[in-house]
Amino acid sequence: MSITGLEVEVERDDGFETEEMTLNMGPQHPSTHGVLRFVIKADGEVMRKATPDVGYLHRSIEKIAEKVGYASFMPYTDRVDYVAAMPCNQGWAMVTERLAGIEVPRRGEFCRVIATELNRIASHLLAVGSMAMDIGAYTPFTHALRERELINELLQELCGSRLTFNYMRIGGCAWDLPPRFGEKAIEYLDHLEPIIDEYNALISFNKIYVERLASVAVISREEAIDYNLVGPNLRGSGVKYDVRRDEPYSVYPEIDFDIPVGTGEAGIVGDSYDRYMVRIREMKECCKIIRQCLSKMEPGPVIAKVPRNLKPKPGEAYVRVESARGDMGWYCVSDGSTAPYRLKIRTGSFAAMSAIEHVSRGLMIADLVALIASLDIVAPEVDR
Amino acid sequence: MTLFNSMPEMALTTTVDSMINWTRKSSIWYMVFGLACCAIEMMHTGGPRADIDRFGTIPRATPRTSDLIMVSGTLTLKMALRTKLLYDQMPDPKYVISMGSCANCGGLFQLAYSVCDGVDKVIPVDVYVPGCPPRPEALTEGILKLQQKIAEERWLVRRAPGEAHV
Amino acid sequence: MNSAEIVDRLRARFGDKIGDFDDKAGDPFVYVQPDAIDEVCGHLKNDEALAFDALSNLSGVDHPKTSTIQVVYHLYSYRHRHMIVLKVSANREDPVIRTVAGVWRAANWHEREVFDLLGVRFEGHPDLRRLLMPEDWVGHPLRKDFVEPEEYHGIKTSRESPIHGIKTSHESPTK
């Protein structure tokens, strides 16, 4: 048996005949990434091909947009990516504001950024926790859930809900920050930053964990761009690109933060370990952003005056926001009525899912689980 | 003569029934069937803060070794056929908790063309937990209600005329 | 480079395959003929000065009033940080467009989704079949004239109101 990079060639000289097995993985499976199904053609433990089968969570959100109208659509955007719902709210609000020519007040922009970055931390916590659980370590998952519970408390105080927030409105945010929210947020960030180091000591630099992920499922820079991978998946392959810094929107131009990039520290650039470490380091950058926002905010209104029956002029707009899973494209066509004519949401997990068939050749079945977890795929983003 | 559902209500037989029900309700193993947003809240409910492991409910990966299926999330038509298959694979006696608005009645996705409006169209449901998504405390309440339901089952004692089968 | 300059370069090379350029309604876009879209995209990706190495979005829009289905391509270049929007119009009765899955591998699934939900056939696509809907689904849901089926495999697609089972006191018992 010889191993050459990604491909595993199996030659047998002992006279045994082998056959390819066809296995079915999903749509119900103990991984936490949602209802995804793979049809795996395997030669023993090594996969020849893993074909994804999606659509088990297709809730026709894009068609519903054409029925309910601009303002009423906000709760549906939470369900597009329920793990990181605030950036989805922001994407929808931004595309409608671009079509209708509405400007968001400055304090409203700061509230949006604080909510988005808190949600990004929560999403990355779930991503790294469930990645550890898929590899087989159950304890880091409970640690991550504990920290997520504290963020849920903060966001619950902000907007009333733990998971599907519906906090932003077209023109700004629904409410201002509650009293003493800034102090509680800073208290939480002071608590979180040492916990990230503790988490690293527990799992990130653990020898077994590193060997499971290093040099597994390498995605090169050219492949990542060709498949339109975005966000931490793209940055893990060495491309230093972040929509918040390179095509900035909202108040991100005034905030100073770094973009962590995969460097192949444990193996090859673009392997699963790089994508994992990019998420860990991004959590620390989010803490920096929130602190700067809280210190730069000034009193003022949080929402602009928007007409009750919003009817943007006919036209179209394409807006990209940096969600936890990468840049999300919102393409909206308006025909002058109260509901959009067509809405298309292009998500990062859709592209990542389409890349799996190619990247998984030659991997073992257990590595497929690590690959899905390292690409941070959630089913609602794929199916919408 | 079989012992099952054949004895009159006496101190001995009702005590035996209570003992059996107490052991069964304190060890309900649920299948991890998280479909959508409610799955995240189900994970939190099994997490460190609102821990349902203290009631004996632990997650199982396969339907063959689980008593309870918690349908958490939107059921699409494509998934509904597989849900029926998974329910049939569970051994008797089995229970179903429908968690969240989407599993109860379709929720806010009733306008959709590809969503099955409620899981009770495919499998029979024991407890409905409302919410979008239900808080961990609400799901815990749902499990406690299921425990109450299990506590009223009869094993030795004969059933009253007209009483439903489990 | 802004969109007008890119369109000029494309017109210089492809002539009448490039249609009208509209820069008034939001993001500027340019129309391309459906049988030339793969050559145009190949040139946009491989040319050094243009270098559109990423397909940011591919979506279909149904226009029953003009009896067309438009497919909109948003292309982005990581090297030069510019974006262009292309549109292809196809006849609504039998929409056929050349595929760009050979240019960007990201287009593979996007085109499958447009085929599934709108019914556009992409010529040359390696694996054109339904993506999000079940394999035996009939119809293309995102079309404006799509009618929801009454049931699917025995499951009714609407929830019956309980009003049909209610007996009120003024109804006669023999009814």
pLDDT in tens, chain B (166 residues): 577 888 888 888 889 989 999 999 999 999 988 899 999 999 999 889 889 999 999 998 899 999 999 999 999 999 998 999 999 999 989 999 999 999 999 889 998 989 988 998 999 999 999 999 999 999 999 999 999 999 988 888 887 777 665 5
| 8 Å CB contact between B40 and A141 | no
Q: Residue A147 has which token pair?
A: 């920290």
- What's residue C172's pLDDT? 57
DSSP A309: S
List average pLDDT for each run of 10 residues in chain A, which is 384 residues long: 43 73 86 86 88 91 92 92 93 93 93 94 94 89 93 92 92 92 94 92 90 90 92 92 91 92 88 92 93 92 90 91 93 92 93 91 89 91 90
Comparing C-alpha atoms, which of C37, C20, C10 is closest to residue C96?
Answer: C37
Does the domain made of A70-361 have the CATH classification 1.10.645.10? yes
Q: How far apart are the first and last CA of chain B?
A: 21
Domains of chain C, start order: 3-156 (3.30.460.80)
CB B123 within 8 A of CB B83: yes
Range C32-59 average pLDDT: 90
At position C4, the amino acid (one-letter code) is A
Rounded distance between C-alpha atoms, residue A147 and residue A184, angstroms? 14
3-state helix, strand, coil in chain A (%, to 5): 50, 15, 40
pTM for the full model? 0.91
Instruction: Output the DSSP codes for B24-68.
Output: HHTT--EE--B-SHHHHHHHHHTSSSS-GGGGT--EESSGGG-SE
Q: Which of B43, B70, B86 to mutate to test the interface with A (most CBs of A within 10 A)?
A: B43
Residues 116-175 of C with CB under 8 A from B: 132-134, 141, 146, 148, 152-153, 155-159
Map residue C18 onto helix, strand or coil. Answer: strand
Separation in Å, CA C127 to CA C106, C112, C168: 13, 8, 58
A contact test, residue of B53, B72, B74 with most A CBs within 10 A: B74
DSSP string, A20-54: -EEEEE-SS-SSTT-S-EEEEEEETTEEEEEEEE-
- Put simply, whether A296 touches B (Cβ < 8 Å) is no
The beta strand positions in A248-290, using DSSP E, are none
Which residues of chain C are within 8 Å of residue A96 when distances are taken between CB atoms? none
Gap from B56 CA to chain A (nearest CA, Å): 18
Chain center to CA of A296: 27
* Burial grade of A123 (CB within 10 A; 0-12, 13-18, 19 or more): buried
Q: pLDDT averaged over chain C? A: 87
Which C positions 86-105 lie with beta carbon below 8 A of chain A? Answer: 104-105
Q: Tell me, what's the pLDDT at A1? A: 36
Report residue C158 as tokens.
């609407």
Q: Where are the alpha helices (DSSP H) in C90-139?
A: 107-118
Backbone angles phi, psi at A289, to 5 degrees: -65, -45
Can you list the pairs that A193-200 forms with residues at least 24 positions away whose Cβ atoms lie under 8 Å? A193/A284, A193/A287, A195/A143, A195/A147, A196/A280, A196/A283, A196/A284, A199/A128, A199/A140, A199/A143, A199/A144, A199/A280, A200/A280
Percent of chain C scoring above 90 in pLDDT = 42
| B49 in A contact zone (CB under 8 Å) | yes
B87 to chain A, minimum CA–CA distance in Å? 12
B residues 1-30 lying closer than 8 A (beta carbon) to A: none
Q: How far C62 CA lies from chain B's nearest CA (Å)? A: 17
Structure token digits, residue B13: 């037989």
Our CA-based measurement puts residue C68 at a distance from the nearest CA of chain A, in whole angstroms, of: 14
With 0-12 CB in 10 A as exposed, 13-18 as middle and 19+ as buried, what is B137?
A: exposed
Q: Which sign does the torsion angle of CA B85, B91, B92, B98 carry? A: negative
pLDDT level of residue C173 (50, 70, 90 thresholds): low
A82 and B37 within 8 Å at the Cβ level: the answer is: yes
Question: Reduced to 3 states, what is the DSSP secondary structure of residue A244?
Answer: helix
* Inter-chain residue contact B77 with C157, CB threshold 8 Å: yes
The tens digit of pLDDT for each residue in A102-139 reads 999 999 999 999 999 999 999 999 999 999 998 888 89
Spatial contact of A227 and C106, defined as CB atoms under 8 Å apart:
yes
Distance in angstroms between the alpha carbons of the first and the last residue of chain A: 42
